[in-house]
A and B are shown apart, each in its own frame.
Chain A
């Protein structure tokens, strides 16, 4: 791509000089050459060379720019945990994204050669290139939103999950302040005290909005007002909260409602021996229970919180999530470039391979890819350079709390220099390191163009 722009800029000065009087004409030629090159040199000097040199100089000074600090900024760069994280993330980006993009682009380019609506397909894939990173970032921030009502990915995740699993009856309910129940190591709640047959238990729960009770719920049965039956463990599971306040924890007050449909288990030595479900008034009973001491357990399934989807924007998934957005934008670029290379390939080798009975996959692997290698390298190296400079997507997609988890060098450079850090010394140092990292890839690209010309 950039081959076109770098080629033959200076040759303009070559023509124009007449033969004879060699010394004068040479001097004239040099003068003309300098005159012609001057604007370009001035521009390059002012816009490229000077800023680079100044950044290098600035990186040896402190935040204010007045005190020479030697290599302190570089030292801080490699010891500061935020910058280290940014370095690591940039490394991951460089390792993963260019290879992935080149691969996906190659596959798409080869496939589009073979489909009928190739152009339409290509336009579609290329379209995201026309969208600014800012807009794409904002769009993906929404796509990844945790709330299934906003984030489309989580809408799908929750939708699929909920068709497979039933939701619980009383999400988020927990024992009331009466302390009749305690946490039972991931199995829900169980009675604090052991229960013997002939006794009733009063199990108050809170944290359920009264408006969300099922319509069949009735006022809670009050165990204190009825006589327990011998050989039976019974009790009530109820909402231990009176709307508007005034209820007593652990006591079934007149206005309190039973909780129907709660699964109740009778346990002995940690094993479940019987289970039942509560009635509309919240009551339950295990009759014909042998003497002994039991526990009553409300399994965790009653209270499971509804599935909230995947935390795409959490610390763990944030970098892959941003990479996916980047992939969405840049796939078109690599596909079109590789596609152009593909179109320029001599067909005869493919035909020959086909005649020799090679399968399509073999042709792809053994003929197409090797012949495409120069194009693939250019795409790959260009992407490496681009990926090292990735900034906007990370800045926009990563929410504040995980910004540091997603941090990359270019973003860190901006953050420490202008985004609040106000330390342009350290920022320059990061810029210089970034330049050094990009340099090999640039050198490689330039060498390739030179070789391509000769």
Chain B
């Protein structure tokens, strides 16, 4: 779901950048040794469209350096099902770009994965913060290398709307609420909330929770070591209710929010007829703004980091695609070489220059990003260090955190419809979670 959106939002403007920077990576190739000549590495991932084209440029650079042929297979949205059937059918790819922590753990549990080589481990240790290493590890063994990451703690706003209201980007949730009220008073509802898609609501919650309850509680809740009825959850829901409960703050009120999908919510803020001042979602909003709405990110659309709640540190909720090597692959060794390559700052820089990409790799120079907005997001991702947390709903079983119409998505939609009773919502969340985590 998230993936498709990121893809549809992929920028047309990028096409220019692609042609402009395409040749750069492969020049050094001729001098390097061609140790993998004649071998083919198959890579599977969810990417399509521009994202796939950009990733293929990275693969091409790998081919140029090593002589290996590379092949990219798109799995569509449901990576776990596709890879399951490929492994069982004896047609497994060598490397998979896994988009969810939950799936990575599932693969590790099924004994599909080869632990990363010493070289890859060394690059991860030196170039990545411990948080990313943790999310790539299962049972103390490092299996996954996070090549691509996203920043899901960005509130996007229309500078015009905030200027009209005379407010500036807020630093705390309290200020955000105050600013939102002023924006609404100025005649433009403050937020376009994408309530028709359930997952933006989970991301709202995760940001509030991470900042308010702290990373430790966040981890515990993500692993369901504390129940959803925990007071911290009720408190976060209550905080969230201060936004969701005020019809004047939401474009179209709560009812309108429930009929707004992500693309529409972005259009409501940055479209030709602005109906809201701000929208919250991850870095991929910029893709929709520039790609679908043909507006300029950085002037027509700006973002501020999701503000800190109740004095906690500002949250950095993230997601990402981890490269893993499959045991069942035919070319394990070459696959591992590819992962080693992807762990290098050079590999990340190739895509970073093309845009629509953030790297958790500390070695990627800020200047590699094509514009200030992306640079700022990349910086906040790396600066957050160990405080980065992976999207909680992506860590949960799909029945709870990843399915339209049920689980967390549905329950938070019900909460948006009627935020008056956070306790009851927490109880419903707990009963759904208990069922999903046990199954």
Contact = CB atoms under 8 A, between A and B. Distances in A.
B198 interface: yes
Given A176-B185, A206-B185, A209-B186, A246 B399 contact: no
Contact of A422 (B404, B409, B439): B439
A6 B195 CA distance: 50
27 contacts: A62-B439, A63-B439, A174-B248, A176-B185, A177-B185, A206-B185, A206-B187, A207-B248, A209-B187, A241-B185, A241-B186, A241-B187, A243-B164, A244-B165, A244-B166, A245-B166, A400-B197, A400-B404, A401-B417, A403-B404, A404-B405, A415-B405, A419-B404, A420-B404, A421-B403, A422-B397, A422-B399
B167 interface: yes
Contacts of A172: 248
Interface in A184-234: 206-212
A400 B187 contact: no
Given A174-B248, A207-B184, A245-B182, A403 B163 contact: no
B166 A420 contact: no
A146 interface: yes
Contacts of A207: 184-185, 187, 248
A254 to B, nearest CB: 15
A313 interface: yes
A244 B163 contact: yes
Nearest to A246: B166
B258 interface: yes
Nearest to B196: A399
Contacts of A209: 186-188
A372 to B, nearest CB: 41
A143 interface: no
B398 interface: yes
A82 interface: yes
Nearest to B181: A177
A177 B409 CA distance: 35
B319 interface: no
Contacts of A82: 406
Contacts of B261: 399
A400 B186 CA distance: 32
B129 to A, nearest CB: 31
A243 B163 CA distance: 8
B413 interface: yes
Contacts of B439: 62-63, 422-423
B305 interface: no
A242 interface: yes
Contacts of B402: 420
Contact of B164 (A146, A210, A423): A210
B398 A401 contact: no
Contacts of B410: 400-401, 403-404
Which of under 10, 10 to 19, 20 to 34, or 35 or more describes the interface residues of A? Answer: 35 or more
Interface string A307-322: 0000101000000000
A419 B78 CA distance: 10
Interface centre among A63, A177, A399 (most CB of B within 10 A): A399
Interface string B104-119: 0000000000000000
A66 to B, nearest CB: 13
A176 B248 CA distance: 12
B406 A415 contact: yes
Contacts of B185: 176-177, 206-207, 241
A400 B405 CA distance: 5
Contacts of A206: 184-187
A399 B164 CA distance: 34
A401 B166 CA distance: 35
Contacts of B258: 401
B9 interface: no
B34 interface: no
Interface string A161-194: 0000000000010101100000000000000000
Contacts of B421: none
A400 B413 contact: yes
A400 B408 CA distance: 12
Contacts of B164: 210, 243-244
B8 to A, nearest CB: 15
A176 B186 CA distance: 10
A343 B284 CA distance: 60
A421 B406 contact: yes
Nearest to A76: B435
Nearest to A146: B259
Contacts of A176: 185
Given A241-B185, A241-B187, A399 B406 contact: no
B407 interface: yes
Given A63-B439, A400-B409, A422-B399, 6 more contacts: A207-B184, A207-B185, A244-B163, A244-B164, A400-B404, A400-B413
A224 B226 CA distance: 59
Contacts of B81: 418
Contacts of A419: 403-404
Contact of A420 (B182, B187, B399): B399
Interface in B80-95: 81
Nearest to B199: A400
Contacts of B248: 172, 174, 207
Nearest to A423: B439
B336 to A, nearest CB: 30
A198 B295 CA distance: 55
B406 A420 contact: yes
Nearest to B397: A422
Given A176-B185, A207-B184, A415 B403 contact: yes
Nearest to B166: A245
A423 B397 CA distance: 12
Contacts of A241: 185-187
Contact of B405 (A62, A63, A146, A403): A403
Contacts of B184: 206-207
Contact of A210 (B187, B196, B397, B399): B187
B203 to A, nearest CB: 15
Contacts of A208: 187
A82 B428 CA distance: 13
A407 B405 CA distance: 10
